[in-house]
Amino acid sequence: MAGDQYFALVDCNNFYASCEKLFRPDLKNTPVVVLSNNDGCVVARSPEAKALDIPMGVPAFQIQHLVKKHGIIVFSSNYALYADLSHRVMQAIESCWPDMEIYSIDEAFLTFSSNPLPGLSMEGLAEKVQKRVLMWTGLRVSIGVARTKTLAKIANYAAKKYPATKGVVVLEEQDRIDRLLALVSVGEVWGVGRRTQEKLCRMNVRTAFDLKCANILNIKRFFNIKIGQTVEELNGSPCFTLEQTPGLKKQMICSRSFGERIKRKDDMEKAVSSFCVYVAERLRSEKLLAGRVDLFIRTSCFNKDKTSYANSCGINLDFPSDDTFYLVGLTCRLLDCIWKEGKAYSKAGVVLSVLTPGEGGRQMQLFESSLIRPQHEKVIEIMDRINREKKGKVLIASQGLGQNPWKMKQSHVSPNYTLDWRAIPIIRC
DNA sequence: TCTGGGGTCCTAGGACCC
DNA sequence: TCTGGGGTCCTAGGACCC
């Protein structure tokens, strides 16, 4: 099968924007954009918004005039809703074909042979997946099929770009592959970002076809082995395989930009304590322990001047831990090390790393206190249980109470249609 | 005035050792 | 005066992804 193996990339069309439209049939032909956390930048656009030339990643305040002029509907991001719909999409795909890797919230890779099942071609299988996802979730997917993951990505790009494909492109014949690669800018290739694209263009490598034909030894010398593998993949030799079991997480982060700038240390302490509480909750839910805590704080990275400041520091733990109280205590100590008065901070984050599995308890270390931890464990278990039912119901003291200036802006958030009984859409006939 | 968050991997360079 | 070379490990920073 190895010589006859193909990869398919299944990718939801305009995923976040489509999730929002799903429950708002009144917005069928209306331009819709979804903003990043804190209502910062555009992270998803409906086809109507794309037609208005709203670029990906543009700051929301820069498109205010277009929003007014064209009646664009703006949503804050609602990740709980998107995660739930993503789960349903993945279930629908898996029900058609089990050899699947969930690659991101809206993408999955599949592997199959050129004749996946008797009487079923690769196109046939792709169409089956497309129909089932639409039937089960109401969401549309595009599918690209080719010999390697990198080529499947490009096939998917074509499936989205050219409506005549009806969202399915299967790349088999070499001359067809080459013709497509010549139409694709090198910056669209998976693994080639802005920096690499600039460097490649200076070397006169402008299209995916140019990169395919580039001298691989030179590419490895001037870039790195990753880009070298990309060249091999463009030539049809697979370097990246299907990863069905996700590896152990290496780090967990909670970071936020603030709705309002933070100037006081006690406000910052509340913010970073809350970030730490949140990330420790996730750590426990994945049954992991952290061996290191890092904290970073920074003023705005735009308008750099002499008042700008960014710093970070971290500490290796003597014993790996998932204890919120301990981790928050360390986070506050780290803040003491890097806090600088007189600054207007715009962002901060807590990073837990050196993660190890914590399932089934953990060896107590020789000099570790055996008195404190069991009490903490019980309290934390109860806090987790309550907070699972209602987020943020139980706080620890350093998180502070009441309105916090660091809270995210989320002015246009939609209801949790699929997760909250009170938000279930009502159909009137 | 307003510019996301959560990840991974690679590499260069420093520290250290023999 | 003159001060090696090879190896490992760790970390910060860069680049990329969605």
Instruction: Say yes or no: Cβ of A197 under 7 A from any atom of strand C.
Output: yes
Residues 303-322/A with CB within 7 Å of nucleic chain C are: 314, 316
Confidence (pLDDT) at A395: 77
Give the burial class of A345: count Cβ atoms within 10 A of its Cβ; 0-12 exposed, 13-18 middle, 19 or more buried: buried
What residues does A345 pair with on adjacent strands?
A262, A299
For residue A302, which nucleotide's C1' is closest to its Cα? B3
The percent of residues in chain A predicted with pLDDT above 90, rounded, is: 78
pLDDT digits (tens, 9 = 90+) for A279-317: 999 999 999 999 999 999 999 988 777 788 999 999 998
Residues 96-115 of A with CB under 7 A from strand C: 103-107
* Strand C nucleotides in reach of protein CB atoms, 7 A cut-off: 11-12, 14-18
Give ∠ CA A184-A109-A206 in degrees, rounded to 5: 15
pLDDT of residue A429: 83
Reported as a single tens digit per residue, the pLDDT across A95-153 is 999 999 999 999 999 999 999 999 999 999 999 999 999 999 999 999 999 999 999 99
Mean pLDDT of A195-215: 96
- pLDDT score of A322 more than 50: yes
- What is the model's pLDDT at position A371? 46
pLDDT digits (tens, 9 = 90+) for A365-407: 555 555 456 667 888 888 888 777 777 777 787 788 777 777 8
Which pLDDT belongs to residue A372? Answer: 52
More confident residue, A401 or A20: A20
Q: For residues A147-176, give the mean pLDDT.
A: 98
Lowest average pLDDT, out of A15-19, A262-266, A393-397, goes to: A393-397
| Residue A211 in this model has a pLDDT that exceeds 70 | yes
Distance A296 CA to C12 C1' (A): 14
Reference A46, options A76, A64, A79, A21; nearest CA is A21
Greatest C-alpha distance within chain A: 71
A322 phi, psi to nearest 5 deg: -130, 20
What DSSP string runs through A405-422?
Answer: TTPPP-TTPPP-TTT-GG
Which strand B bases fall within 7 angstroms of a protein CB?
1-11
